[in-house]
Chain A
Amino acid sequence: MDAVIASLPQYWDGFLRTLYLSVISGIIALLVGTLLAAMRVSPVAALRGFSMFYVEVARNTPLTIIFFFAAIVLPRLGVRFEQFEVAAIIALSSYTAAFIAEAVRSGVNSVPVGQAEAARSVGMTFTQVLGFIVLPQAVRTVIPPLINILIALVKNSSVAGAFFVLELFGYGRQLSNDYGNQVLWILLGVAFFYLLITVPLGLLAHFVERKVAIAR
């Protein structure tokens, strides 16, 4: 217990880095995932094909391997970055985007096709139909699964700890070495800080789910 209290500055630093990785990767993944979903339902066959290929590859590959590519293979191909955080963000967002694309796509499919037909009939272009009519109605069904994906993203960010990034899990490993006799407490401390992010997200999901239920 006293090891946890003595290490609070490290915990705090790790917590902030985990939060930073999650927020940045989450935003990028949301943008890229929505774009991939839009491509998946677009009238252009090549875009549909690319989106499908990307999603299938990214979500069926273990995250550790994607991290390995981002942190070790990319630099050898000449992509240089100052910090390993960048590699972690690339890996996390490209992996999570695939799941977000699937969630958004199923939300788009939950909107009756007549809505899009009516919008096309008044002369809207594909992007207008999606932006003004379909996505606003898809949001309701998509938010609960999206929050689940974001919770998974926060936990997945721990893989970065194995790739030279000192976030919560990275500090956890370091501290476990420093306080070999108090490993259990150290790890409980790590778990507690993860819960500090994921539990509020879960509560938010419950709240949104209730709101959606009322709106129907």
Chain B
Amino acid sequence: MTTQASGDALVSLNGVNKHYGQLHVLKDINLQVQKGEVVVVIGPSGSGKSTLCRAINRLETIDDGDIAIDGKKLPEEGKDLAHLRADVGMVFQSFNLFAHKTILENVTLGPIKVKKVAKGTADKEAMALLERVGVGHQAPKLPAQLSGGQQQRVAIARALAMKPKVMLFDEPTSALDPEMINEVLDVMIQLAKEGMTMIVVTHEMGFARKAADRVVFMADGQIVEDATPEEFFTNPKSTRAKDFLSKLLTH
């Protein structure tokens, strides 16, 4: 349904293939994400969903096919790629906050160095973002002094500070203790409600049900299903998806 090419998609992948040596990790991926859409990518481990997410801002290169953000094809390397990445927010499984910078500096560094925003303005905007994700009072601390959930919320604020067109989440809650997962998901649900375009790789089915416009199910490097959460969870079409969901439900 949504897999056909459309000219005004914000993120568009066409015929994307990638190999790791013999392993064919992405097989002819076609995916269009419209502005304001929240797409959740789920699937078993090793299905290529993280690779897909990382390919969208070229942290992983692809062998063939093309990826375009807001109509612009991903550049190979260099300054153009850096410019494009500034428009794509990325949140990692392992947070990756800059270890030698304070929480506030983590959020302001991008705007100041990349967008050349004045420090005063950047500080003010960063504080507002940190307040919004609930860690404003942690601003002068170093990342190692925060809990995982707090670090991940800072990472979201850091990505938002660049005012991105689209946000990528690569298993944002997989490295978190169970009691911290919700504080991160709440921030993400809020973002989704505000109309942010999001591509979320996750194992959190609750989030998919609550916030997703579409669920993309991947297995063995292929997109097997692409449906609304309602359709996907109540009436999965492929046996692969049925199998995956049944394993989730029994635990």
Contact = CB atoms under 8 A, between A and B. Distances in A.
Given A114-B92, A118-B92, A132-B113, A124 B82 contact: yes
A43 B61 CA distance: 12
B96 interface: yes
Interface string A117-144: 1111111111010001100110000000
A115 interface: yes
Given A117-B96, A118-B90, A137-B99, A123 B82 contact: yes
Contacts of B92: 114, 117-118
Among B83, B96, B109, which residue has the most Cβ atoms of chain A within 10 A? B96
B207 interface: no
A187 B88 CA distance: 66
B114 interface: yes
A120 B59 contact: yes
A122 B158 contact: yes
A122 B86 CA distance: 5
B162 interface: yes
Contacts, number: 64
A38 to B, nearest CB: 15
Task: Report the contact-size class of chain A (Cβ under 8 Å from the partner).
Answer: 10 to 19
B85 interface: yes
B77 A118 contact: no
B120 to A, nearest CB: 19
Contacts of A128: 113-114
Contacts of A137: 99-100
Task: Name the residue in A117, A118, A124, A126 with the highest tally of chain B Cβ atoms < 10 Å from its Cβ.
Answer: A118
* Residue of A43, A117, A126, A137 most packed against chain B (CB within 10 A): A117
B102 to A, nearest CB: 13
Contacts of A117: 59, 90, 92, 96
A118 B85 contact: no
Interface string B71-84: 00000011100111
Interface of B: 57, 59, 77-79, 82-90, 92, 94, 96-100, 109-110, 113-115, 155, 158-159, 162
30 contacts: A114-B94, A114-B96, A115-B96, A118-B90, A118-B92, A118-B155, A119-B98, A121-B59, A121-B85, A121-B88, A121-B89, A121-B90, A121-B159, A122-B86, A122-B158, A123-B82, A123-B83, A123-B115, A124-B82, A124-B110, A124-B113, A124-B114, A125-B79, A126-B78, A128-B114, A132-B109, A132-B113, A136-B100, A137-B99, A137-B100
Interface of A: 43, 112, 114-115, 117-126, 128, 132-133, 136-137
